[in-house]
Chains A and B, each alone.
Chain A
Amino acid sequence: MATKAYDKSFREEVYQNVDSGEDVKLCMQCGVCGITCPLRDEMTHGPRQLWSLIRAGKRDEVMNSPDIMLCTSCYSCKVRCPRGVKVIDVMHGLAHYALEQGIVPRKETSKFGKAFWDSIYKTGRVDETEVPMRYTMMAGPIHGIFNMLEMMDIGRALLSHKRMKFKIGPGLPPSKKIKGMKGLKKMLNKAKAMSPGKEG
């Protein structure tokens, strides 16, 4: 019977280019990270399976896995991993590396990142009304309005508790800029030059 050898090149690529990528070697495939993760029901693979796919040379599956951009940085996996694998660092490292390669594994995360970035870039603040509005509108105006209607109850509760200001749309009325906007922009531009992808 013909056997197919694993493609070793991808794992070497990860060990060399991904932040803490070599930690994947430490994994003993116990499964604790996948169960510890609060997003376990949302994830397609979870960290353990991703490590396994890396070792098996499944480049496309790993680089396109939405899981690597789904991670919320809660650190539970890193705290509990019995082998001391810096799970979260590798997850972020993989996302970073995918973006560098021009792959966007999870569009929503990327868009949210852009909305977040835009808000800071324009006003120096993360505006609780502005960011979700921009984010939902990215799917197109019709889609955006539907999405927002769905979120109306949450919006109302946030308004009544003064956790959010009322706005008709993004920039209406515009948010106040912070004082040192010039200095902040300099920093942001520098960060942008260092980051992979565009608004990752």
Chain B
Amino acid sequence: MGQSILVVGGGMSGVSAALEAAEAGYDVVLVEKNPYLGGRVAQLHQYFPKLCPPYCGLEINFKRIKSNPRIKLYTMSEVTGIEGEPGNYKVTINQLPRYVNERCTACGKCADAVEATIPSSFDYGLGQIKAAYLPHELAYPYRYVIDPSIVETEDGAKAKEACPYDAVVLDDAPKETIEEAGAIVWAAGWSPYDASKVEYYNFNSSPDIITNVQMERLAAAGGPTGGKIVKLSNGEAPKKVAFIQCAGSRDVNHLPFCSTICCLASLKQATYVREQLKDAEVTIYFIDIRAMDRNEDFYTKVKADEKISFVKSKIGLIEPGENGVLVLNGENTTTGERFKAEHDLVVLATGMQPNTDLSKIPADMVYDEYGFVQNAEGIFGAGTVRRPGEVHVSVQDGTSAALKAIQVVAGR
């Protein structure tokens, strides 16, 4: 069992692949771009259909990783080169400096000392955070990060001075490492489709037009509003919330495929709104609601709420109305009536674009017309780089990729 398996991406797919392979007795190198593991799931408020916090599942996985000496973890790292063939790869890994070493206890004194702020990418740009930060309150590894923008400033020096454990390393530098591996699992996940590309939704024209991933952060206790669903224009509670399905999905001009989860995500988010705001009305505008297999029950349950209504119409235009109201124009395809509907918070249900569409694997790979990767002999896709889907499907896919990788390295 000399050869290791290299897993790229520490979301649910990659973590599952890494754990399954390591627990079967294989050495694993796990490479994650973010300073933490968990991927997009770490940013969700609750999971459909059970509406439980995603952290239960994530924490168990982190414990398994922590206690498994076979997993070697690189965070803030990307794979920049792959050479060789199945059974014998040399993989170049580029690691960005964190400026904080493993002595960090996450006491937070550096953040207190620093004045500069940066937009929170964890909150999809909705809030500002200190330039010395813990990525989120349950981050693994549980360690601070110092943003490169302050390293050479007074703030950088202040952070170093404030640290009681000598954990701040201002002369930290990028590192290039070469790892050997027999097989590779590529689980680089997805990105939310850029809503501003759907120009008729005028995404940038109002802070009260948000995307579904931002809605997760609005509802999450650790998010920019402490979990309160408000209109970002004035901090007030919304009264009429709209969800626009297929915002840039199933559209030849944008993502031509169905992401399979955004109908369910909106159903779930409708329950976030109704849970918090007893008087708020929710309207879901859809082409058709796609809630497959066991998720159909969830749809039926949400539909039973009188304050959640469903209108069969793809919205064709969002216009500004009076007093910051947003006017949605559509054609109700059940009644044939063309309508203008006023809402004060609009959520665009954008789809999942595979990260392999945005940046390619540095190896000779085949992709389908949408950028989803197809398996090669020694390099296997896992999770949402292979097809869009929910978490439990990603976990299964990670496991299946681990098995394929094991078949390559076993006995070598």
Which residues of chain A have a CB within 8 Å of any CB of chain B?
Answer: 28-32, 34-36, 40, 46, 48-49, 79-84
Contact = CB atoms under 8 A, between A and B. Distances in A.
B1 interface: no
Contacts of B336: 49
Contacts of B287: 28-30
B197 interface: no
A34 B331 contact: yes
B338 A30 contact: no
Chain A CB count within 10 A is highest, among B246, B250, B329, B333, for B333
A79 B246 CA distance: 17
Given A30-B287, A31-B314, A34-B331, A40 B252 contact: no
Contacts of B331: 31, 34-35, 46, 48
Nearest to B285: A31
B350 interface: no
B252 A32 contact: no
Nearest to A77: B316
Nearest to B313: A31
Nearest to B332: A31
Interface of B: 200, 246, 250-254, 287, 313-317, 329-333, 336, 338
Contacts, number: 51
A27 to B, nearest CB: 11
Given A28-B287, A32-B316, A35-B330, 4 more contacts: A36-B316, A79-B253, A81-B252, A84-B252
A31 B251 contact: no
A6 to B, nearest CB: 17
A81 B251 CA distance: 8
Contacts of A36: 200, 316-317
A82 B252 contact: yes
A46 B332 CA distance: 12
Contacts of A28: 250, 287
Contacts of B253: 79-80, 82
B333 A48 contact: yes
A34 B332 CA distance: 10
A126 to B, nearest CB: 33
A35 B316 contact: yes
Contact of A80 (B200, B246, B250, B333): B200
A81 B330 CA distance: 14
Nearest to A31: B331
B18 to A, nearest CB: 38
A40 B317 CA distance: 13
A46 B316 CA distance: 14
B333 A31 contact: yes
B202 to A, nearest CB: 14
A32 B287 CA distance: 10
14 contacts: A28-B250, A28-B287, A29-B333, A30-B313, A31-B314, A31-B331, A31-B332, A31-B333, A32-B316, A34-B316, A46-B331, A81-B252, A82-B251, A83-B252
Nearest to B200: A80
Contacts of B315: 35
Contacts of B338: 34-35, 40, 46
Nearest to A37: B316
A34 B315 CA distance: 10
